[in-house]
Chains A and B, each alone.
Chain A
Amino acid sequence: QQPVQSPQAVILREGEDAVINCSSSKALYSVHWYRQKHGEAPVFLMILLKGGEQKGHDKISASFNEKKQQSSLYLTASQLSYSGTYFCGTLNAGNMLTFGGGTRLMVKP
């Protein structure tokens, strides 16, 4: 069963913040976040392993609440280059990555 992402789409102005959520009905071992630009392959952003873990890369960070089986991706002071579709992937015990439906993010000048 694939994780559920919300919102499905968001439009931002440069410099604004956004939060993308990912939730699963199954126990999670880890959460993987990817960004995919149109016509390109998904690019790895970060992986979260432990309950409550938070990570950051530049102005993109994420949290993982293992008990709630939820993860959130935070985009701060968005840039035009942040535009794309963001996918969360959840890993099961067998190393099978299941992706959510994606969140389409558009950053406008």
Chain B
Amino acid sequence: DAGVTQSPTHLIKTRGQQVTLRCSPKSGHDTVSWYQQALGQGPQFIFQYYEEEERQRGNFPDRFSGHQFPNYSSELNVNALLLGDSALYLCASSYPGQVAGNTIYFGEGSWLTVV
């Protein structure tokens, strides 16, 4: 049973560029959330997708956008990259229903460095 998979694992971008990160949820999961984890800090919630729609959004600018496909996979897009966007980007998947009791599984993350 494959867990949450993310790609690419590492990438380097230049300020002002755009980046797309990809995520495939764990089998049976249809809800995907994205988190940003800066060095030495806890993961910060970016947004969550369910049924191909953004269901919740954290305190991130519109430069951060996403998409969920019919097969539940998801993309995170960041435009006009800033140095401060350098971080580990984590994708997490879960299955809705009894929301509070659902385990949320994380992928290995995508390390983004902006130079």
Contacts and interface: CB of A to CB of B under 8 A. Distances in A.
Contacts of A91: 99-100
Contacts of B92: 97
B101 interface: yes
B56 A101 contact: no
A95 B103 contact: no
Contacts of A30: 100-101
Given A29-B99, A49-B101, A95 B31 contact: yes
B101 A96 contact: no
Given A94-B55, A95-B48, A95-B56, A44 B43 contact: no
Interface residues of A, number: 24
A19 to B, nearest CB: 19
Given A41-B107, A42-B106, A49-B100, A96 B42 contact: no
Contacts of B107: 41
A20 interface: no
B22 to A, nearest CB: 15
Contact of A96 (B41, B45, B102, B106): B45
B55 A42 contact: no
A44 B101 CA distance: 13
A20 to B, nearest CB: 13
B100 A99 contact: no
Interface of A: 2, 29-30, 32, 34, 40-44, 47, 49, 87, 89, 91, 94-102
Given A34-B106, A96-B45, 6 more contacts: A41-B109, A44-B103, A95-B56, A97-B45, A99-B42, A100-B42
